[in-house]
Amino acid sequence: MAYVNTLEWGMKYQPEPLDSISHLKVGQAFRAVDVEYIYDDPNGRGYLKAIDPTTSEVKWEMPSKSPNWAGTLVTAGSLVFTGRLTGEHIAVDADTGKTLWQFQTPSGIVGQPITWDRDGKQYVTVTSGIGGLYAASNGDENLANVPAGGSLWTFKLFED
């Protein structure tokens, strides 16, 4: 199975004239287009999906009110770790998609969780610090109170 975060929205765009850059300040984003986002489902702007890569069949999906930009990590114990822009670091059952654990970090998660071993103990580490063009310019109401920040979180996996 492939465990991926997907984005579910469309957009209409109109090119902006070049003279529209005169109002820009240094460091301000400029895409050269005026974008209008289109959301078919306001409760599902993204999904964590389990996809069979040989058939493209979706085994299960978990909706998210904001898109998930984070990577995914699958352990040998059938846990899928990922993060949300609203700061939740989550572990779900790889077979069912059921959330088994979550931890609220102080900012959004856009990075890749990693796993590592020390003295026979397994750990998962993830960064927390929202960023990117979507978070900065989309006006997503779910992200209105998510602080920027930046921190590193490490969790020890339970032993059987």
Q: How many CB atoms lie within 10 A of CB 58?
A: 12
Is the torsion defined by CA of 59, 81, 107, 36 positive or negative?
Answer: negative
Q: For residue 145, give both structure tokens.
A: 């109170």
More confident residue, 7 or 29: 7
Global confidence as pTM? 0.81
Instruction: Indicate the burial class of 69 (C-beta count within 10 angstroms; 0-12, 13-18, 19 or more).
Output: buried
Residue-range domains of the chain with CATH = 2-156 (2.40.10.480)
- Model confidence band, residue 3 (pLDDT cutoffs 50, 70, 90): very high
pLDDT of 111 > 80? The answer is: yes
